[in-house]
Amino acid sequence: MPKQKLILIGNGMAGIRAIEEILKLKPNDFDITVFGSEPYPNYNRIQLSKVLQGDTDVSDITLNEWQWYEDNNIRLYPGETVMKIDKQKQIVYTDKDREEAYDQLIIATGSNPFMLPLPGADKEGVTAFRDIKDCEKMIDYSKKHKRAAVIGGGLLGLEAARGLLNLGMDVDVIHLSDFLMERQLDRAAGELLQKELEAQGMNFLLEKQTAEITGKKHVTGLKFNDGGKIAADLVVMAVGIKPNIALAKENGIEVNRGIVVNDFMETDVPNIYAVGECAEHRQMVYGLVAPLYEQGQALAKRICGVDAEQGYQGSVLSTQLKVSGVDVFSTGKINEDKSSKAIKVFDEWRGTYKKLIVDEGKLAGAVLFGDTKDGNRLLSFIKKGANVEEYLDAGQSEESGVDLVAGMPDDEIICGCNGVSKGTIVDAIKNDSLTTVEQVKGCTNASRSCGTCKSLVSDLLEYTLGDDYADNQEESICGCTTLTKDEVIAEIKDKGLTHTREVMNVLGWKTEEGCSKCKPALNYYMGMLNPIEYEDEKESRFVNERMHANIQKDGTYSVVPRMYGGVTNSKDLRKIADVADKYEVGMIKLTGGQRIDLLGIQKQDLPSIWADLDMPSGSAYAKGLRTVKTCVGANFCRFGTQDSVGMGIDLEKKFEGLNTPHKIKMSVSACPRNCAEGGVKDVGVIGLDGVWEIHVAGNGGTHLRKADLLCKVKTSEELMEIVGAYLQYYRETANYLERTSAWVERVGIDHVKEVVVDDKKKRDELNERMDLALSAVQEPWGEAIKNETLLKELYEKVNVPTASK
């Protein structure tokens, strides 16, 4: 039977969760295409608060890597917006002039932040807080400016304010109501929260209505209706969201506040569904992930025709503020009315507050401040419509940690975002031999969203595994196995395993084919252990490494030829210019590593460009040596003490093409002025009079780290020997995808010195193994253009999105 064409508009949290649910039910029934306006794979929007607060990094919040789309044969068009839907012909049209037919269409366009239409709202320095771009903008501003004003004292505004404080700014929060988070808390909890946040350094202006944003081109402050004003260099609007319904509305799909759907997430147009923040179900529009995920489950069942009698029934909401040091929780009804009664406990000494709302004898809602460990239990009671006596009789546990989870019934919700109960997690731990929070996340989704339930999941692991948990803290390679990297490597050596499939088979992998995390890792470990005999598995590599070129956001590729030490000549420059003209290269750009990057290249042109260039690959895509950047050195610079260019070229020639756990950047400078920036390189060599200093484990990227001095050597032979041993030790002991900076942080620079510098015997052994690995290196572009099968498979077949011309 031909596959049904399924299109998802909106590559966000709700839409992609719905696709995951569909793939679970019917992995082979749909030909799936996803359009997303943002140029990223699906990421955890919730964690943007944590990114701003400095607890995590943008690069760590991806929920589904590019590889996931590939592995599931999903065509993703990132950075592409659907502009029109033809309901009769069942075709969507995008802003890149693409048209795509569908049998089933899911609209998951989320929300737009509500921007107050104030005079001056278009000035520089005014932002929303909704996506990666906004988050990066705020981080950037905090580096140059001091005063921030956040308009809106709701969940988003307060999380933004905490982040801006962490970034060193002075923060005023301007709020319309006379207490904070009035949509989620009652007055008592709101006031306690205010005190706590004031103690943390926030300043509040309550009952204030902003009238104008002042400044010329750039914001300088706010004026209020009451005549007051404050100074500000950055203004963040966090005053709620509006469902993004424009596309549906313009194309004749019924909308109200959101896109109107029934219990099966069907709109009024056949074969068109809506899910997530853009959808309106029984007059409710939701702005938290838990209900959106429940909607996704109902939608998946409907589309797959599986057990779909009941559909989505609406959700009981619960919220928790993600600001460290403040525990606030609310669920269900938060204010008493004529039909309800409240039970309130205020412990002024401990600073805790608890209010339960009882509606006709049943628990209907709760507000907690200061101690929120009972939150999820209350949510469970409310969800099942329990009588308040039942809750009170069960008694609130004063315990915490393992004792607390031990006393929970099996149906108690542990992860509110994903609706995962204690019973589900314990069963998964037992049945799938899980030992880490990461594995529980991979298996059950618990802790995959806001992450506040991580400690409960960890408690459940400890409760279920006992001493085994304590002994087993090292993370396994991925959710497909409970084995750690060291255990897997030991087993490969011990049992003489030779293929990744064999490893998975013999070591009892839970999935037949592995996943996007373990496949490339195993491929790397096998190649590292057995460089001569092991045949690299191209299909296990990430797309860039497989293609020997970096894929760009529009589906084209970039080509960077090697220029040893950053030195070129007129002949190579002419060849590059000719190639650029012949293939109408979109942009020619100098890279930070002193190379020339040709951008905007069509996949099918890659092999002929490599042939025309007739230069080695610059490995700009590789988990291996990228570049050795050099300063001009003693031959030209009046400060130079050593031949940095010659040394850089030698290093690059020696280690090019080597596979490493992650990319390697090197540099050589010829004096302490360090023009080649050795302080932020994996290996940064600095020449002094008669001496080379070798600095290692620097990182100039997202995890900024200054390099450590490994040692000083006198001769270039010694330098090569130390760098060789250092790189080989990294290759053998780092986790796959661990940069040298993280690896050295983990194992300690002193330990690395002991092995690589102090122990001559170990150094020689490492260099022997390094030489073996280097002897197996092949030039990838030269190899690729000779291989007919590879050319056909990779460069002719269209299996990744290509840009429209």
Ligand X SMILES: NC(=O)c1ccc[n+]([C@@H]2O[C@H](COP(=O)([O-])OP(=O)(O)OC[C@H]3O[C@@H](n4cnc5c(N)ncnc54)[C@H](O)[C@@H]3O)[C@@H](O)[C@H]2O)c1
Ligand Y SMILES: Cc1cc2nc3c(=O)[nH]c(=O)nc-3n(C[C@H](O)[C@H](O)[C@H](O)COP(=O)(O)OP(=O)(O)OC[C@H]3O[C@@H](n4cnc5c(N)ncnc54)[C@H](O)[C@@H]3O)c2cc1C
- Report the interface residues with ligand X, using CB under 6 A: 49, 116, 151-157, 159, 174-177, 182-183, 209-210, 238-241, 287-288, 319-322
Q: Is 560 helix (H, G, I), strand (E, B) or coil?
A: coil
**Between 265 and 671, CB nearer to ligand Y:** 265
CA atoms within 13 A on the CB side of 583: 29
Give the residue, chosen from 265, 278, 450, 676, that forms a contact with ligand FES under the rule CB under 6 A: 450
Q: Is 44 in the site for ligand FES (CB under 6 A)?
A: no
Nearer to ligand Y, 165 or 292 (CB): 292
Which of the choices ligand FES, ligand X, ligand SF4, none does residue 640 contact, using the CB cut-off of 5 to 8 A by kind? ligand SF4
The whole-angstrom separation of Cα 763 and Cα 740 is 18
The region, left, alpha or beta by phi > 0 then psi within -120 to 50, assigned to residue 312 is beta
137 or 712: CB nearest ligand X: 137
Query: If contact means CB under 5 to 8 A according to the sort of partner, which of ligand X, ligand SF4, ligand Y, none does residue 529 touch?
Result: none
Q: Does residue 692 contact residue 708 with C-beta atoms inside 8 Å?
A: no
Interatomic CA distance for residues 600 and 584, integer angstroms: 9
Pairing label, strands 170-174, 259-261: unpaired
Determine if 594 is a binding residue for ligand SF4 (CB under 6 A).
no
Q: Which amino acid is at 426?
A: V
Alpha-carbon distance of 764 to 776, in angstroms, equals 19
CB of 451 to ligand FES, least distance (A): 5
* Nearest approach, Cβ of residue 645 and ligand X (Å): 52
Closer to ligand X by Cβ: residue 121 or 774? 121
Angle, alpha carbons 478-482-485 (nearest 5°): 65
At residue 656, φ and ψ (nearest 5 deg) are: -65, 145
Strands 420-421 and 413-415 turn out to be antiparallel
DSSP reduced 3-state for 673: coil
CA–CA separation, 773 vs 763, rounded Å? 15
Nearest distance from C-beta of residue 379 to ligand X, angstroms:
13
Q: Which is nearer to ligand X, 175 or 377 (CB)?
A: 175
Which entry of ligand X, ligand Y, ligand FES, none binds 488, CB below 5 to 8 A by partner kind?
none
Instruction: Pick the closest to residue 561 from 587, 592, 598, 586 (CA basis).
Output: 598
User: What are the phi and psi torsion angles at 29 (to 5°)?
Assistant: -90, -10
Choose the one of ligand SF4, ligand FES, ligand Y, none that binds residue 632, judging by a C-beta under 5 to 8 angstroms depending on kind: ligand SF4
Residues 6+ positions from 126 with CB-CB distance below 8 Å: 120, 213, 219, 235, 237
**Maximal C-alpha separation, the chain:** 88
Write down the least CB distance from residue 527 to ligand X, Å: 44
Cα–Cα distance for residue pair 163/141, rounded to 1 Å: 12
- Of 184, 452, 484, 619, the residue at the interface with ligand FES (CB under 6 A) is 452
Chosen residue from 264, 639, 716, 755 binding ligand SF4 by CB under 6 A: 639
When the beta carbons of 450 and 707 are compared against ligand FES, the nearer one is 450
Residue 447 binds which entry of ligand X, ligand FES, ligand SF4, none, CB below 5-8 Å type-dependent: ligand FES
Q: 365 contacts which partner out of ligand X, ligand SF4, ligand Y, none, CB within 5 to 8 A by kind?
A: none
User: Interacting stretch for ligand FES, rule CB under 6 A, among 61-69, 248-256, 416-424, 495-503?
Assistant: 416-424
Helix (H) and strand (E) counts in the chain? 28, 36
Could you say which of ligand SF4, ligand FES, ligand Y, none residue 631 binds, taking C-beta under 5 to 8 angstroms by partner kind?
A: ligand SF4
Helix, strand, coil shares of the chain as percentages rounded to 5? 35, 20, 40
Helix (H) or strand (E) holding 304: helix 289-304
Among ligand FES, ligand Y, ligand X, none, residue 38 binds (CB under 5-8 Å by kind)? ligand Y
The distance of closest approach from Cβ of residue 630 to ligand SF4 in the complex, given in angstroms and rounded to an integer, is 8
Question: Least distance to ligand X from the beta carbon of 46, Å?
Answer: 7
Minimum CB separation of residue 698 from ligand FES in Å reads 34
670 binding ligand SF4? (CB under 6 A): yes
| Distance from C-alpha of 799 to C-alpha of 75, rounded to nearest angstrom | 8
Encoded one letter per residue, x for contact with ligand SF4 by CB under 6 A and - for no contact, window 672-691 reads -xxx----------------
User: How many residues are given for the chain?
Assistant: 805
Binding partner selected for residue 238 from ligand X, ligand Y, ligand FES, none, CB under the kind-specific 5 to 8 Å limit: ligand X
182 binds, among ligand X, ligand Y, ligand FES, none (CB under 5 to 8 A by kind): ligand X
Q: Quick one: which segment of 278-286, 401-409, 627-635, 698-706 binds ligand SF4 (CB under 6 A)? A: 627-635
CA distances for 304 relative to 261, 266, 361, angstroms: 18, 13, 40
Residue of 750, 648, 658, 665 whose CA lies nearest to 699: 665
Q: Smallest distance from the beta carbon of 565 to ligand Y, in angstroms?
A: 42
User: How many angstroms separate the CA atoms of 600 and 603, rounded?
Assistant: 9
Residue 531 interaction partner, one of ligand X, ligand Y, ligand SF4, none, beta carbon < 5-8 Å per kind = none
Token digits for 205?
């202006």
Residue 671 lies near ligand SF4 (rule: CB under 6 A)? yes
287 makes contact with ligand FES (CB under 6 A): no
Least distance (Å) from ligand SF4 to the CB of residue 632? 5
Pick the stretch among 392-400, 409-417, 497-505, 572-580 that binds ligand FES (CB under 6 A): 409-417
Pick from 318, 424, 328: nearest CA to 371: 328
Ramachandran angles phi, psi of 643, nearest 5°: -85, 85
**Using the rule CB under 6 A, is 6 a contact of ligand SF4?**
no
Question: Which amino acid makes up residue 344?
Answer: K
Q: Residue 417 class from Cβ within 10 Å (0-12 exposed, 13-18 middle, 19+ buried)?
A: buried
Q: Between the CA of residue 805 and those of 98, 602, 795, what are the distances in Å?
A: 10, 10, 18
* 155 near ligand FES (CB under 6 A): no
Q: Which residues bind ligand Y (CB under 6 A)?
A: 9-15, 35-38, 45-46, 48-49, 81-82, 108-111, 129-130, 156, 244, 247, 276-277, 287-290, 292, 322, 417, 450
**Minimum CB distance to ligand SF4 smaller for 139 or for 632:** 632
- Does residue 416 interact with ligand FES by CB under 6 A? yes
Task: List interacting residues with ligand SF4 (CB under 6 A).
Answer: 631-633, 637, 639-640, 644, 669-671, 673-675
